[in-house]
Amino acid sequence: MSARRVTVATGDHGDVHMIEPFWCAGVHTAEGYREDIEHRSDDVVLTVPTPCHGEVKLTTLTLVQRPFSRTDASVKATVEFDEDYHDMTSKELAEFTDALVALAVGPLHQFIERLQLLESDL
């Protein structure tokens, strides 16, 4: 497979020609500045089942790279959480995931056990 080349119009550098990573969804709107150009993957939406609303979104993950960034041109995972977006390295995403797992097996399971005790009293 050959590399895809894309062109993005910018206000400060004119047409910018670049190779598009294989994981990029291919949406590149004309940007005001070359530094603002970004590659984005398709979203991965994580959901949880609920009895009253069916599947409900927990978070959205997206790969993002800003190849002309002056501060960080590396590929990151963007995680939508607490009504904000957080860029994370693979290590930071692993730590975030470990924290979610710890919540699930710790406080959430303790809460389930408490609820089960209360339900058995009825």
- Euclidean distance between CA atoms 103 and 61, whole angstroms: 19
Same domain? For 54 and 79 the reply is: yes
Same domain? For 115 and 80 the reply is: no
103 token code pair: 């919540």
- Euclidean distance between CA atoms 26 and 121, whole angstroms: 57
Same domain? For 10 and 61 the reply is: yes
Q: Which domain holds residue 109?
A: 89-122
Position 2 pLDDT exceeds 80: no
Domain count, the chain: 2
Position 116 pLDDT exceeds 70: yes
- Euclidean distance between CA atoms 119 and 115, whole angstroms: 6
pTM value is 0.84
Same domain? For 30 and 57 the reply is: yes
pLDDT at 29: 82
Same domain? For 79 and 101 the reply is: no
pLDDT at 98: 96
Taking the CA of residue 10 as centre, how many other CA atoms within 13 Å lie in the half-sphere pointing to its CB?
17
- Euclidean distance between CA atoms 16 and 99, whole angstroms: 40
**At 17, phi and psi to the nearest 5?**
-100, 135
Position 1 pLDDT exceeds 70: no
pLDDT tens digits, one per residue of 20-76: 999 999 998 876 899 999 999 999 999 999 999 999 999 999 999 999 999 999 999
